[in-house]
Amino acid sequence: MSVSYYEKNRLFKLDTPRSSYLFAVSDENYLLHLYYGARVSDHEIAPSFYRSSYASFSPDATGGTGNISPDVSMMEVSGSGVGDFRLSTVILRYADGTSATDLRYVSHRIYTGRPDAGALPHVRLTENEADTLEITMQDPATGVQFLLYYTVLRELDALVRSIRVVNQSDETVYIEKLHSLCCDFPQNDFDLIHLYGKWAKERSPQRLPVMQGIQSVASTRGASSHYHNPGICLAKKDTAEESGECFGFNLLYSGNFSADTEADGYGGTRVTMGIHPKDFRWRLEKGDSLLSPEAVTVFSGQGLGEMSRIYHRLYLSHIISPYWRERKRPLLLNSWEGCYFHFDSDKLVRLAREGKELGMEMLVMDDGWFGKRDDDTCSLGDWFVNENKLKGGLAELVRRVREEGLAFGIWFEPEMISPDSDLYRAHPDWCVQIKGREKSLARHQCVIDMTRQEVRDEIFRQMKAIMDSCPITYLKWDFNRNLTEPSSLALPPERQGEFFHRFVLGTYELQQRLLDEYPTLLLENCSGGGGRFDGGMLYYSPQIWCSDNTDPIERLSIQFGTSLFYPASSMGAHVSANQRTGYDTKAAVALWGTFGYELDPEKLTDEDKETIKTQVAYYHKTYETIHNGDLYRLIPPWENGATCAWNFAARDKSSALLTVISIRKREFQTLIVRMRGLEEEAVYRCEETGEKYTGAFLMNAGLNLTDRDLNRDGASLLLYFTKQ
Ligand code: GLA
């Protein structure tokens, strides 16, 4: 059992293979945090072990014992207005207008497996894979209950946390803030690593010292966004890629979020993470409850690389759908960058035919097939086939594509509605808006009100009619703008503060409904590229289009950043025609992802076609090593500005793929690349050169690549090693 309770000190100890997490119940029934870090065997830690001394301005909220103050103690969960002035985890507001929130321990339960997550995306765990500690807290003044969940993974150094608020009071209450976790540390010499960006430049890592005061990484756009990601890491100053301690925090949620740090004058740091409190106000009737999204914390004592690998394994084994966990993804040809809106059935069939020649397994018909859509100004919401383009209808097109030997995939943008659409004309109240305010358009479109059941039913009905009309095995779900005038005409004033969260729940419900109806469907989420790349979405779609930027050099920082939390098999990556770098480098970078093509094969030269056939064969050969292997980031693209390198190693160390990219030409520069993740004693043969090396040589001495044909702007090198 990875959860222990020691009655003597009323102390809880959560153990993963290489980490421990300890906290205890104080005399005043606060939950005091004691330790999180590398595994320890001790449990005789007195609850006062890490407690800061009582400070003169700190409120004594202990009923006069004067022992501790929540102001300076490490708290397992923080209330508001009752002595802890730092970041709150939960804030409630009551009928009398006040908002103090106090949380005191009442009882706990320990059980195998995990708690019910209701309709929220969650870490999938069986009875044999995890144990859960469930703690009941209560506000003594109001009776409102708080259930703190800690699910401890037996095989991975990860904890899953969430909080449920249960209104056991006698009146309606409003939740004004519900974060999923609070994690206090007795140090503040951390760096904060987070991922920032914008459209076409998502998830670049930034590392900066945790500052005194509050730092917030957040989105209030209705989606997790291109700009920030619901994943942050606290790393010790000396923590590097493969050494040192770090703590990851990753939220399985696709809407507004904040991940906040607060360092205080007593030398501590608090992290809280969850739904963003801005515009959040959830009405909880007597007897009702609300569960927060799940947050996954990971401890690594071996650097950022190990933290990432733990997250990757977690995503592969416990978050993406079990159906796709075991299956190879199809190699797809997407019509977007090759055709944009300009295609008809014959063109798509030709794409399929040519694609088949090159080795493609699926044709994806992107935007432009429905309503009267010839550009981005109309028809979202009219999910019926544009017969002017697809003469003979969709079923006939799919039949012809399948006859060419390819499976068929399709594009939808279910959460959107164009003002110029039949659906809008029939139901103008179905789009997100505030009465009396002008609706802001973005990409000429509005957002449909996903909080409403009848709206979701209609979108589902339309999608189902398409999906049932012919064999469609892949669906790209796009989301091409953020939310403005955030309100539902169907929600009463006292529930408008629920709009953003209800929107996300509506999206989750519709994605789940699709998967229930078509359990083998491969869903790929997308949002103007990677504007909603998060653990919530990955629960439904095992892959997400990583960025609209398909330039391989630009992609390096995007993919390096994304890999901080998310595995290779989740990152939609295609070779496209539109960029200046050669096909070899485009493929070398796209291989670190789902891999596919997004171009018009009719425009390729014979030489390009031969190159692509070779790449497809290489993709099949290296698929297992990349998709189920471990990633080692060797030289990040920002390290010296000239070279970037990474390698994948199969988990059983039987194979490895090294990729080196020359961002720009180096003058007379020695280049030695040391691989990682191999078996020291084993002998590996490089398939490209036939040379043999021991794992120890490749990892310690490294490969001298100075004289390889790499000293050109945008050159690349792929070396595949197999154990002899
Ligand atoms: C978004 C996606 C693209 C493509 C277009 C279609 O920008 O990221 O891949 O599907 O929409 O309009």
Q: Which residue among 548, 549, 578 is best mutated to probe the pocket of ligand 1, counting the most ligand atoms within 8 A of its Cβ? A: 548
Provide the β-strand partners of residue 477. Answer: 412, 525
Other beta carbons within 10 angstroms of residue 621's beta carbon come to 14
Report the atom number in ligand 1 closest to the C-alpha of 376: 12
Residue 356 has pLDDT above 90, yes or no: yes
Instruction: Write out the catalytic residue numbers.
Output: 478, 548
Average pLDDT over residues 470-496: 98
Average pLDDT over residues 462-471: 98
- 336 Cα to the center of ligand 1, angstroms: 7
Averaged confidence pLDDT in the chain: 96
Q: How confident is the model at residue 632 (pLDDT cuts 50, 70, 90)?
A: very high
- 333 Cα to the center of ligand 1, angstroms: 14
Report the atom number in ligand 1 closest to the C-alpha of 366: 10
Provide the β-strand partners of residue 684. Answer: 693, 723
Closest residue CA from atom 2 of ligand 1? 528
- 549 Cα to the center of ligand 1, angstroms: 11
Residue 49 has pLDDT above 70, yes or no: no
What pLDDT shows up at residue 552?
Answer: 96
- 142 Cα to the center of ligand 1, angstroms: 49
Closest residue CA from atom 7 of ligand 1? 528
What pLDDT shows up at residue 338?
Answer: 95
Average pLDDT over residues 290-317: 98
For the segment 150-201, what is each residue's pLDDT rounded down to a tens digit? Answer: 999 999 999 999 999 999 999 999 999 999 999 999 999 999 999 999 999 9
Average pLDDT over residues 533-545: 98
* Structural contact between residues 643 and 702, judged by C-beta atoms closer than 8 angstroms: no
Residue 431 has pLDDT above 70, yes or no: yes
Q: How confident is the model at residue 48 (pLDDT cuts 50, 70, 90)?
A: low
Report the atom number in ligand 1 closest to the C-alpha of 411: 10
Report the atom number in ligand 1 closest to the C-alpha of 527: 8
Closest residue CA from atom 11 of ligand 1? 528
- 339 Cα to the center of ligand 1, angstroms: 12
pTM over 0.95: yes
Closest residue CA from atom 6 of ligand 1? 367
Other beta carbons within 10 angstroms of residue 342's beta carbon come to 12
For the segment 689-714, what is each residue's pLDDT rounded down to a tens digit? Answer: 999 999 999 999 999 999 788 888 99
Report the atom number in ligand 1 closest to the C-alpha of 526: 8
Alpha-carbon span 453 to 691, nearest angstrom: 62
What pLDDT shows up at residue 640?
Answer: 87
- 476 Cα to the center of ligand 1, angstroms: 9
Closest residue CA from atom 1 of ligand 1? 528
Tokens 């039913």, located at residue: 457
Residue 471, helix vs strand vs coil: coil
- What would the DSSP string read from start to end of 587-652? HHHHTTTT-EEES-GGG--HHHHHHHHHHHHHHHHHHHHHHSSEEEEEE-TTTSSSEEEEEEE-TT
* Structural contact between residues 172 and 92, judged by C-beta atoms closer than 8 angstroms: no
Tokens 């990152």, located at residue: 571
Alpha-carbon span 316 to 570, nearest angstrom: 9
Average pLDDT over residues 578-598: 93
- 543 Cα to the center of ligand 1, angstroms: 15
Average pLDDT over residues 416-430: 98
Q: In one letter, which amino acid is 280? A: F
Q: How far is CA 284 from CA 38, 287, 288, 424, 456, in A?
A: 39, 8, 6, 33, 24
Alpha-carbon span 333 to 27, nearest angstrom: 63
Report the atom number in ligand 1 closest to the C-alpha of 548: 8
What pLDDT shows up at residue 710?
Answer: 87
Residue 257, helix vs strand vs coil: strand
Residue 655 has pLDDT above 60, yes or no: yes
| Crossing angle of helices 393-403 and 453-469, rounded to 10° | 50
Query: Residue 199, exposed/middle/buried by CB under 10 A (0-12, 13-18, 19+)?
Result: middle
Taking the mean position of all CA atoms in its chain, how far away is CA 185?
Answer: 25
606 torsion bin: left (phi>0), alpha (psi -120 to 50), beta (else): alpha
What pLDDT shows up at residue 711?
Answer: 81
- 531 Cα to the center of ligand 1, angstroms: 11
Report the atom number in ligand 1 closest to the C-alpha of 598: 9
Average pLDDT over residues 109-134: 98
What pLDDT shows up at residue 61?
Answer: 65
- 529 Cα to the center of ligand 1, angstroms: 7
What pLDDT shows up at residue 179?
Answer: 98
**Which residues of 97-172 form beta strands (DSSP E)?**
104-112, 130-138, 145-153, 158-166
Q: Which residue among 332, 375, 415, 526 is best mutated to probe the pocket of ligand 1, counting the most ligand atoms within 8 A of its Cβ? A: 526
Residue 46 has pLDDT above 80, yes or no: no
- What would the DSSP string read from start to end of 171-184? S-EEEEEEEEEEEE
What pLDDT shows up at residue 406?
Answer: 98
- 388 Cα to the center of ligand 1, angstroms: 22
* Structural contact between residues 538 and 570, judged by C-beta atoms closer than 8 angstroms: yes
Residue 638 has pLDDT above 60, yes or no: yes
What pLDDT shows up at residue 138?
Answer: 98
Q: Which residue among 198, 199, 364, 367 is best mutated to probe the pocket of ligand 1, counting the most ligand atoms within 8 A of its Cβ? A: 367
Alpha-carbon span 497 to 499, nearest angstrom: 6
Average pLDDT over residues 507-511: 98
* Structural contact between residues 550 and 579, judged by C-beta atoms closer than 8 angstroms: yes
Report the atom number in ligand 1 closest to the C-alpha of 340: 6
Closest residue CA from atom 4 of ligand 1? 336
Query: Which residues have any ligand 1 atom within 6 Å of their CB?
Result: 336, 366-367, 411, 478, 480, 526, 528-529, 545, 548
Q: Which residue among 199, 334, 336 is best mutated to probe the pocket of ligand 1, counting the most ligand atoms within 8 A of its Cβ? A: 336
Q: Over pLDDT 70: what percentage of the chain?
A: 98
